[in-house]
Amino acid sequence: MSLTAQIRRKARDLGFTAIGFTPATPLAGAQFYAHWVAMGYAGQMHYLEKYLDKREDPRKLVAGARTVICLGMDYYQPSPETEPLHGQIACYARGDDYHKLIKKRLAELWDFMLETAGAETQGRYFVDTAPVLERELAQRAGLGWWGKNTCLIDKRRGSYFFLAEIISDLELDCDEPAPDHCGTCTRCLDACPTDAFPEPYVLDATRCISYLSIELKESIPRDLRQGMGNWIFGCDICQQVCPWNRKPKPAPEPSYKSRPTLDNPSLLDLIQLDHDAFNDLFRRNPAKRPKRKGFLRNVAVALGNSGAQEAIPVLIAALDDEEPLIRGHVAWALGQLGGNEAKEALVQKLTTEAEAEVRVELEEALAIFQKSS
Do 289 and 245 lie in one domain? The reply is no
Do 149 and 281 lie in one domain? The reply is no
Query: Whole-structure pTM over 0.75, yes or no?
Result: yes
Catalytic residue among 57, 128, 169, 263: 128
Give the pLDDT confidence score for residue 354 in this predicted structure: 97
Do 317 and 280 lie in one domain? The reply is yes
Sheet holding 18-23, edge to edge: 18-23, 67-74, 161-168, 123-126
User: With bands split at pLDDT 50, 70 and 90, how would you rate the model's confidence at 83?
Assistant: confident
Asked if the model's pLDDT at residue 257 lies above 90, the reply is: yes
CA distances, 66 to each of 6, 18, 311 (Å): 18, 20, 58
Do 185 and 312 lie in one domain? The reply is no
Instruction: Give the domain range for residue 163.
Output: 1-265
- B/e letters for 42-64, b = 16+ CB within 10 Å, e = fewer, are bbeeeebeeeeebbbebbbbbee
Q: What is the CATH number of the domain that holds 273?
A: 1.25.10.10
- For the chain, give the mean pLDDT: 97
Provide the percentage of residues in the chain whose pLDDT is more than 70. 99
- Convert the pLDDT of each residue in 94-125 to its tens digit: 999 999 999 999 999 999 999 999 879 999 99
Total domain count, the chain: 2
Please say if 173 is a catalytic residue.
Answer: no
Give the pLDDT confidence score for residue 118 in this predicted structure: 84
Do 280 and 142 lie in one domain? The reply is no
How far apart are alpha carbons 75 and 249 in whole angstroms? 9
Give the pLDDT confidence score for residue 373 in this predicted structure: 62
Do 120 and 173 lie in one domain? The reply is yes
Asked if the model's pLDDT at residue 372 lies above 80, the reply is: no
Do 246 and 343 lie in one domain? The reply is no
How far apart are alpha carbons 172 and 186 in whole angstroms? 37
